[in-house]
Amino acid sequence: MAPGSIIRIGDSVGISSSILVAGKSIEVGPNSLIGAGCMVIDNDFHVWGDNQSWKTEHVRNSRPVKIGAACFLGARSIILKGVELGDRVVVGAGSVVTKSFPAGSIVAGNPARLVRSTP
């Protein structure tokens, strides 16, 4: 976590051997499950520095991540910066989520795509 960043985890959230890295903010809604080995990241970690070098910059390129209530993130899925998942979104194991999905979506793949929607 960068200084001043926020990670908010709702009630009854289950997290198994996963990482959440915030430059600005990550929010996880209540009753969500985050499977083993997942990564939820709101930044790119590094930016170009001087003389073709890399600098660590968690804040400059951060965009908040929001995960709704009762979501399920399958094992080893990756949620990247700027993503908003509505309530009850299911993310298939090993998926890389690069864009937002509305409530009731079931998504999978790299990059994650809509598989189907539920009511």
Averaged pLDDT for residues 20-35: 96
32-54 pLDDT tens trace: 999 999 999 999 887 667 777 66
47-93 pLDDT tens trace: 667 777 666 666 778 999 999 999 999 999 999 999 999 999 999 99
- CA distances 41 to 56, 84, 116, 118, Å, are 14, 12, 25, 26
Give the Cα separation of 12 and 23 in Å (integer).
Answer: 24
Other residues' Cβ atoms within 10 Å of the Cβ of residue 78: 20
